[in-house]
Amino acid sequence: MKLSESNISEINKKSNKEHQNQFEFLANTLDKKSIKVEQIIKSLAEFQVAIPSWALGAGGTRFGRFSYYGEPSNLTQKLDDVGLLHSLTQTAGAVSLHIPWDIPEDYSAIKEQAKSLNLKFDAVNSNTFQDQKGAKESYKYGSLSNASQVVREQAIAHNQEVIKIGEQLGSKSLTVWLADGSNFPGQNNFQTALSNTEDSLKAIYNTLPDDWKLFIEYKPYEPNFYSTVIQDWGTSFMLANACGDKAYTLVDLGHHLPNTNIEQIVSTLMLKGKLGGFHFNDSKYGDDDVTVGSVKPYALFLIFNELVYGMQNNPQNPDLSWMIDASHNIKDPLEDLMQSLEAIQEAYAKALLVNQTELRVAQQEHDVVKCQEILQNAYRTDVRPLLAQARLQSGGALNPLGVYRELKIREALIQERGKHSIASGL
């Protein structure tokens, strides 16, 4: 299923007048504060977030999985879903594939399809957290960190193969999230596990093409509950430094213990030029994968405030690779992703409203109250008309969720794919 611009613009017409009123009111208000509205809209239009292939079907928990009807059951259908999202939001211009779940059968057909949907291939993701069919060695006791050399070699070879697949698609980065760790005290020698991981990552890094980046993700716990080999940003940063210039830390919002100051981590990594990728989601307790901005929108804004500062002041840090990393059990995944994209754009727009010069002065004058006022005035501004305007100018929907429901897209997908299709890999 493919949406045309005229499908969308027809529905936009119904709410365009109301939108224009809201937009002009906000634009005038911001203009009086010398905020360059056109520049913010341009930044919003340029900001593209990758959709991972695993977010398009219903997720699951270790207790059960409740299927969502009309799920994409192959890579072509997954790309179609991202294409639908991108048509509506003009914000989802990239897809992130997971290997081996998404190995293309016909590379040129997949590339052609992505091109026609205006999608790029973002980072490719390796998988050494499960045993693959027919694999000789098991990752039950770890992959890149495993005490056994043959297991480590298999895991390294898998990552190298993922790079090769990504190269054929035009990806430029590999994300490694390592589930390795231990469930019981004494199970692992911490130093051996870390040294093995460093050596394995270096072996992968050595085969990385010159124009590629390696992203090293961290996570404090789960699936292991006693220790994780790459448990925090410091360990990831240390490993990235050990590998070299093309290796970076990847921050996933859900991979922190409660109340961790993620904005400070972002700031530190950007100062050091080592923040490479970013995974969006939200959480209440741990890696909950709840919709971006649904639980802690102010924290997301504070993180974006540091990201914007870094993007404007840290030329030593490369352009970031943005991705939503979430997988749900009860919502329509496409609707959830539209809510996530909206929350991301909202936090970004609000961060762009922060007057950095004024904030700097207030910080230097130790005017703590004013510092807070500057941030909160930006946060309390309803920026949704700016988001809608950016989408309108790019050919997207004023209200993506509204158009999705009005066009009965999920019903059409169920018609096309059947009720009980299941997303591969989940």
- Contacts (Cβ under 8 Å, ≥6 apart) of 381: 26, 30, 350, 353
Residue 174 contacts residue 212 (beta carbons within 8 Å): yes
Stretch that binds Mn ion, among 88-96, 191-199, 274-282, 350-358 (CB under 5 A): 274-282
| Interstrand relation of 213-217 and 173-176 (parallel, antiparallel or unpaired) | parallel
Minimum distance from residue 177 beta carbon to Mn ion (Å):
6
Stretch that binds Mn ion, among 89-97, 191-199, 241-249, 321-329 (CB under 5 A): 321-329
Residues 1-40 touching Mn ion, rule: CB under 5 A, are none
Position 416, amino acid: E
Q: Which residue's CB is nearer to Mn ion, number 152 or number 279? A: 279
Q: Which residue's CB is nearer to Mn ion, number 279 or number 350? A: 279
358: its two tokens: 């004024």
**Distance separating alpha carbons of residues 32 and 339, to the nearest angstrom:** 30
Residue 282 interacts with Mn ion (CB under 5 A)?
no
Residues 179-218 touching Mn ion, rule: CB under 5 A, are none
Minimum distance from residue 44 beta carbon to Mn ion (Å):
24
Q: Which residue's CB is nearer to Mn ion, number 223 or number 418? A: 223
**Distance separating alpha carbons of residues 412 and 306, to the nearest angstrom:** 41
Q: Which residue's CB is nearer to Mn ion, number 215 or number 304? A: 215
Residue 88 contacts residue 396 (beta carbons within 8 Å): yes
Minimum distance from residue 391 beta carbon to Mn ion (Å):
26
Minimum distance from residue 421 beta carbon to Mn ion (Å):
25
- Contacts (Cβ under 8 Å, ≥6 apart) of 174: 123, 124, 125, 126, 159, 162, 163, 166, 204, 208, 212, 213, 214, 215
Minimum distance from residue 260 beta carbon to Mn ion (Å):
15
Q: Which residue's CB is nearer to Mn ion, number 125 or number 197? A: 125
Minimum distance from residue 252 beta carbon to Mn ion (Å):
4
Minimum distance from residue 185 beta carbon to Mn ion (Å):
27
**Distance separating alpha carbons of residues 126 and 387, to the nearest angstrom:** 34
Residue 325 interacts with Mn ion (CB under 5 A)?
yes
Nearest Cα residue to 146 out of 117, 180, 111, 190: 180
Minimum distance from residue 295 beta carbon to Mn ion (Å):
17
Q: Which residue's CB is nearer to Mn ion, number 125 or number 389? A: 125
Number of residues lying near Mn ion (CB under 5 A): 3
Residues 49-78 touching Mn ion, rule: CB under 5 A, are none
3-class state of residue 166 by DSSP: helix
Q: Which residue's CB is nearer to Mn ion, number 80 or number 180? A: 180
Q: Which residue's CB is nearer to Mn ion, number 256 or number 417? A: 256
Minimum distance from residue 251 beta carbon to Mn ion (Å):
9
Position 253, amino acid: L
Q: Which residue's CB is nearer to Mn ion, number 279 or number 328? A: 279
Distances (CA, A) of 258 to 44, 282, 355: 30, 11, 29
Stretch that binds Mn ion, among 193-201, 230-238, 271-279, 353-361 (CB under 5 A): 271-279
Stretch that binds Mn ion, among 110-118, 249-257, 311-319, 337-345 (CB under 5 A): 249-257
Q: Which residue's CB is nearer to Mn ion, number 110 or number 230? A: 230
Residues 390-409 touching Mn ion, rule: CB under 5 A, are none
Following DSSP, what letter does each residue of 236-280 receive, concatenated? HHHHHHHH-TTEEEEEETTSS-TT--HHHHHHHHHHTT-EEEEEE
Position 270, amino acid: M
Residue 252 interacts with Mn ion (CB under 5 A)?
yes
Minimum distance from residue 213 beta carbon to Mn ion (Å):
15
Stretch that binds Mn ion, among 54-62, 153-161, 324-332, 411-419 (CB under 5 A): 324-332
Residues 90-149 touching Mn ion, rule: CB under 5 A, are none
**Distance separating alpha carbons of residues 78 and 85, to the nearest angstrom:** 11
**Distance separating alpha carbons of residues 252 and 248, to the nearest angstrom:** 13
Could you identify the residue written with the tokens 């119904």?
Answer: 14
**Distance separating alpha carbons of residues 324 and 281, to the nearest angstrom:** 6
Residue 216 CA to its chain's centroid (Å): 14
Binding site for Mn ion (CB under 5 A): 252, 279, 325
